[in-house]
Chain A
Amino acid sequence: MRTSVVGVGLVALAVACAAPAAAQGLFTDARRIGMGGVSVGRSGSVGRFNPAYRAVPARTGLEGQPKLTIPLPLGLIQFFHDHPISQLGHDPTFSPDSTGFNPVEILNLALNLPLFYEVKKAPTPTNDVTIGIGQNFFQVNLGQTAALVPLDQFGLGFSSRPLDPGIDIKGVRVSVMGWLHTEAGFQLGDTLLGFLHDSMPAQHNAPYQVQTDGIVEGGFAPTIGYAGRVWGDTARGIYLGGAVHYYLGVGYAAANGVGGFFTTAAPFFGGATPVTLDGRGFSQYSKPGHKLGHGVGGDVGAVWISGPLELGVGVNDIGATITWPDTRQDSVFYHDSLYSQPFQPSVETKTELPVSYVANLAYTIGTTTLAADLVNNGRGTTLHLGGEKRLGLVALRGGVSRDQRKRLEFGWGGGVRLGGVSLDLGFWTHSNSLSNERAITMATSLSIY
């Protein structure tokens, strides 16, 4: 029973903080963190979303990109100092029997992995919760935590390409790309929202439900692409890139529905049946082993370099509609017990991969680099602005970003480069926590040029 109850709580909380988690991503480069997350040159998002960058030569010299960046995980040292491995089993933070157990803190830990040192942790909600109970009365006041109850639809999702092995010959690339797309969305019903957010007393004969929808699909895609300079030279030129994917879907599952409680006319406390579980949903899936899904889509990208100025635009998964020829559809209904009704044992369905895009701008003059990028990975847009000023062997950095929570985050830092090695330090505010207050992370990394 404990497991299920803890699970209910943690899932609810995980869902609630999914958006902030997805908003930031996990960066391991202190240089990038120090510039507010902006991608400079061929690093980060621009190389991932813009196929033209495959043909753009890397910069050289002090402003060049490192061959290898190794994060220095001071956060792990901090974590294991605070939570020794030998005592994890008895650690109050992780022991439900302890008064120090706080599921919010654990979720914050999961959403904000302790790779780097947290200079300022987001405060864990510790306010009092007041519950009013009468035979026919039930009211909850979450205090300040109520502000964290999402008013609108919230969720998480991403479209990624875990692997893309292939060969390049004169700008033509033949590869087999792995692809994965997941999305999950949730929306609290009005009465549940009023109960949790506005502390409205529970009503009889009312639904307390959550609307959900989700999809996970993945497969591989034989790909042929091209990237090359179509005009100019390395100092001033235009690069174009493109790729055509033939998506083969190994499996997918999608579901949507409404679920939760219905209160009855019986007293909330002392009645035989104060609530009934109720859920309705529709699921469809094509398991691995069924006929493969298939579809065609493409990526395009362009980069313009004019001396110190660099401008790039890339779009991914254009027209990527996957046809699943062997999909099973079921309707699911829960009321006292679970009923599942086959709807279609084998039917053709289609799914669409979200179109992702990036636009980036970089300007380098002398020892100063300024950059900006706009990234949409299919679930919200993030904007990063940042810059770097090199003073001999020392670099100073700063930046700002607007995350998917539409909050401004700030980055600053610096580094020292000695020959082919640089040691970098970056600070970044972030909102990867179940909190409305920002935390500050200090990232450290070693780059080899």
Chain B
Amino acid sequence: MHRKWLGAALLAVLAAGCGEGHAIFNVDVQSFMASTGADTLRVPPDPLPGILPGSPPVRDSITPVGVDLPTAMSSSIVDTVLLTGSLDVTHSTGSGTFSYDVFFSSSSDPAVVYAGTPALTVGPVSIPTTAPVPITSQNLAAVVGDAFKGSALYVGIRATVSNTGATNLQSTFKLTALQARIVLQDRIFAGQ
């Protein structure tokens, strides 16, 4: 109920401001993940030892995290979805490569979230990295636009690590920033 009122207030604001303009949402996705620790992914997870040399790639993922979005977006036409962010790869031992997949879904079910095509894949990138790994995307509206139209959006992160070195490899992937810029055509009143 109270969240509906916040949504209603937001709609009023949009009504006042937009006219025929665009509504641009800058969503700090990482902030929703940090509070539950879902911004950090250790591969392989503790207490497992590192990936042995010559082992097949190891893949792990987080439990999808919900991102609350205003209902104002529900009936809008999503023009643009752009992702930007940064990833720290720390506590690495050994060497190898990793791929980092970002998923968006309107479902909270991990099986559904990870069954789809990643919205964005970072990598493969060599380990160890010398600097934070940037995350950038092209316009993803055609791929994940519909997911952003629901009142709840779920984010999944999946990392795949290959050990190409001679010693065990364990890596920690900490998402330090993930911003979604969503540009809507103004149809905020439809379907409310």
A residues near B (Cβ < 8 Å) are 1-2, 4-6, 8-10, 12-13, 16, 96-105, 124-137, 140, 142-143, 145-146, 148-149, 196, 208, 261, 267-270, 273-277
Contacts and interface: CB of A to CB of B under 8 A. Distances in A.
B6 A275 contact: yes
B27 interface: yes
A142 B16 CA distance: 8
A321 to B, nearest CB: 38
B26 A97 contact: no
A274 B6 contact: yes
Contacts of A96: 189-190, 192
B123 to A, nearest CB: 26
Nearest to A267: B35
Interface string B67-86: 11110000101000000000
B133 interface: no
Contacts of A128: 18, 21-24
B12 A102 contact: no
Contacts of B31: 134-137
B58 interface: no
Contacts of B16: 9, 12-13, 16, 104, 142, 145, 148-149
Interface in B23-68: 23-28, 31-32, 34-35, 66-68
B11 interface: yes
Looking at chain B's contact residues, the main secondary structure is: mixed
Contacts of A267: 35
A132 B20 contact: no
Contacts of B140: none
Contacts of A276: 2
Contact of A132 (B3, B13, B28, B69): B28
B122 interface: no
A131 B24 contact: yes
Contacts of A261: 5-6, 9
Contacts of A126: 18-21
A136 B28 CA distance: 9
Contacts of B190: 96-98, 101
A131 B5 contact: no
A278 to B, nearest CB: 11
A9 B11 contact: yes
Contacts of B119: none
**For the complex of A and B, 8 pairs with smallest distance between CB atoms:** A134-B28, A9-B15, A96-B189, A269-B68, A134-B31, A129-B17, A142-B17, A2-B192
A333 to B, nearest CB: 17
Contacts of B189: 2, 5-6, 96-97, 101, 103
B14 A129 contact: yes
A99 B188 CA distance: 9
B32 A127 contact: no
A100 B10 contact: no
B15 A2 contact: no
Contacts of A135: 28, 31-32, 34-35, 68
Nearest to B152: A270
B19 A131 contact: no
A97 B191 contact: yes
A230 B133 CA distance: 93
Contacts of B24: 128-131
A82 to B, nearest CB: 16
B3 A97 contact: no
24 contacts: A2-B191, A9-B11, A96-B190, A97-B190, A100-B20, A104-B15, A104-B19, A124-B20, A126-B19, A127-B19, A128-B18, A129-B21, A129-B24, A130-B26, A131-B26, A135-B28, A135-B32, A140-B10, A145-B19, A268-B6, A269-B69, A270-B68, A274-B2, A275-B6
B102 interface: no
B25 to A, nearest CB: 5
Given A99-B187, A127-B19, A134-B27, A270 B66 contact: yes
Interface centre among B7, B17, B190 (most CB of A within 10 A): B17
Contacts of B11: 5, 8-9
B185 interface: yes
Contacts of B8: 4-5, 8
Given A2-B189, A137-B28, A103 B5 contact: no
A111 B3 CA distance: 32
B13 A142 contact: yes
A5 B34 CA distance: 32
Contacts of B186: 99, 102
Nearest to A146: B17
A101 B5 contact: no
Nearest to A103: B15
Contact of A269 (B32, B75, B192): B32
Contacts of B6: 261, 268, 274-275
Nearest to A129: B17
A196 B13 contact: yes
Nearest to A136: B31
Interface centre among B3, B19, B21, B66 (most CB of A within 10 A): B19
Contact of B12 (A12, A101, A134): A12
A145 B34 CA distance: 34
B47 to A, nearest CB: 30
A126 to B, nearest CB: 4
B26 to A, nearest CB: 5
